[in-house]
Amino acid sequence: MSAGPAPRWCGRQYHYLSEASHVHPFLVDLWAEVRDRSGGQLDVTVHAGNQGLPGSHHEIVQRLIDGDIEFYVLMGGILGPLAPPFEIQGLPFAFNGHAQAHAVLDGALGDYLRAELLAHGVYAVPGGLLENGFRHISTVSKPIASVDDLAGLRIRIPEGRMFEDAFASLGAQPVQINILKLYSALTGGDVDGQENPLAVTEALKLHEVTKHVALTSHMWSGFNLLASARFWRALPGHVRETVLASTARHVSRQCAHTDALNRDLETRLAALGMTISRPECAEFRARLIDNGFYRRWKTLLGAKAWALLEQGVGRLA
């Protein structure tokens, strides 16, 4: 049996989570469907754990801009140096739930953010906001029962100014560490805790090196499906439409799966021996207000992005 025709366009989809994560299998399904529905014209392979790509997220995004790679997924907070308004996706205590976050970020605010990013050579695929979930704090030995328990806590954060400012405003000592080095940093005592959605805590086996989880829901987190604008513009219209249709279908599946997974993990992580606490989140938000966090970020993010967010969620501060 002869092989089908060679693809006309080939691409690589990188992401920094594992093959067993809540992201990888859905990206595999998405690009397999695109290959089939495009008649084999576009063939994109999926590479977990960034599969040997060197450098920070910012350096990888530069490779995307340069056209050295074709697709990546990344949180909005890490895109701040390139397009500052994108950090609004992770504004602390902005969203009341998963559904509201997607409604707002796939609406007028999302259109504005994508235009800002495209001006810098990166195409954020419409409808391509994959779910990561609300972020919670897990610690090696000290449980977090109130905002005061964060005082002096060395907490790992990802790249991003908002993460650093938020946790410093809450009294912690934020430490930037690449997620692929997080397990060893916790094991080696470089930090006292970390903050991530429960799906990431499980995927990276962080329940093996942290004992306590505080369900703070302090930030919503999602992964933007990003394309090199150079590569995207080289694709014909019908292939781009195929990508958009498949993205909508498989991102919807991924979001539903991840939302259910994060809820289920509250019970499963407890069964694995972690202690679960539910601090009063209002006091965390009040501490941020008292320390001028929202006032600073309204200026940093810009009046337009702030107004579009408040149209969807109400007055923030």
What is the C-alpha to C-alpha distance for residues 154 and 30, in angstroms, rounded to an integer?
38
Phi, psi of 126 (to 5 degrees): -60, 135
Sequence-separated (6 or more) residues with CB below 8 Å from residue 284: 92, 93, 147, 170, 216, 218
94-118 b/e with 16+ CB inside 10 Å = b? bbeebeebbebbbeebbebbbebbe
- Token readout for 267 is 């019970």
Please give the biggest Cα pair distance in the chain.
70
34-39 long-range Cβ contacts below 8 angstroms, 24+ apart: 34/242, 34/243, 34/246, 35/7, 37/242, 37/245, 37/246, 38/238, 38/239, 38/242
Determine how many CB atoms are found less than 10 A away from the CB of residue 68: 13
Report pLDDT for 30: 98
Phi-psi region of 8 (alpha: psi -120 to 50; beta: other; left: phi over 0): alpha
What is the C-alpha to C-alpha distance for residues 186 and 96, in angstroms, rounded to an integer?
30
Report pLDDT for 3: 56
pLDDT by residue for the chain (317 residues), tens only, comes to: 445 667 899 999 999 988 999 999 999 999 999 999 999 999 999 999 999 898 889 999 999 999 999 999 999 999 999 999 999 999 999 999 999 999 999 999 999 999 999 999 999 999 999 999 999 999 999 999 999 999 999 999 998 899 999 999 999 999 999 888 999 999 999 999 999 999 999 989 999 999 999 999 999 999 999 999 999 999 999 999 999 999 999 999 999 999 999 999 999 999 999 999 999 999 999 999 999 999 999 999 999 999 999 999 999 98
Report pLDDT for 310: 98
Residue of 164, 113, 52, 129 lying closest to 305 (CA atoms): 113
Residue of 220, 232, 217, 219 lying closest to 276 (CA atoms): 217
Q: In what order do the strands lie in the sheet with 42-47?
A: 42-47, 9-14, 71-74, 220-228, 122-134
| Helix or strand holding residue 125 (H, E) | strand 122-134
Residue of 62, 90, 123, 99 lying closest to 301 (CA atoms): 90
Report pLDDT for 133: 97
Residue count of the chain, please give it. 317
- Asked if residue 113 lies in contact with residue 306, where contact means CB atoms within 8 angstroms, the answer is no
Whole-number Cα distances in Å, 125 to 39, 221, 239: 21, 17, 13
